[in-house]
Amino acid sequence: MDDTETNDGYTLLPTAPPLDDYLRLRRDSGLTPVTAEQGAPAVVGAWSACHVVDGTGTPVAMGRVLGDGGWYFHVVDVATDPAHQRRGLGRVVVEWLLADVRDRAPEGAYVSLIGDPPGQRLYRSLGFEDVTPSVGMGMVLGPQD
């Protein structure tokens, strides 16, 4: 997919943002901060990614999809700089990611995400549903004892 003009002078680019901007957007938007060592493979290792830049070319929103290319896809890292929130940029990012999965994955692909409270209304409006009785789970690995 090509660059896409959005509203109010923003442009969506079909790539992950540069590493420094990826780290900044995660931190500033309230996502769990990650180190450069964690972030470097993330910005190049996604199945799909996009970011939105403002009129000066500064990345202000982003999102990625992890996936196996066939059946399973997981939306991650949806983040918008707080100074640019409430302008529909998160919706633009998620809609672009979903369109990319629809365009490149086989029909019937399963798309999931873990919706933090600030994004749950957006995700539901785009067709995501709770997976109850299943529960999202996670673990942060520490050093081996």
Pick the CATH number of 4-125 from 3.40.50.720, 3.90.180.10, 3.40.630.30, 2.60.120.260: 3.40.630.30
Specify the pTM. 0.92
| Tokens read off for 27 | 């931190």
User: Is there a contact between 43 and 59 (Cβ–Cβ < 8 Å)?
Assistant: no
Query: In what helix (H) or strand (E) does residue 80 lie, and over which residues does it extend?
Result: strand 72-80
Tens of pLDDT, residue by residue over 42-101, are 999 999 999 999 999 999 999 999 999 999 999 999 999 999 999 999 999 999 999 999
Tens of pLDDT, residue by residue over 97-115, are 999 999 999 999 999 999 9
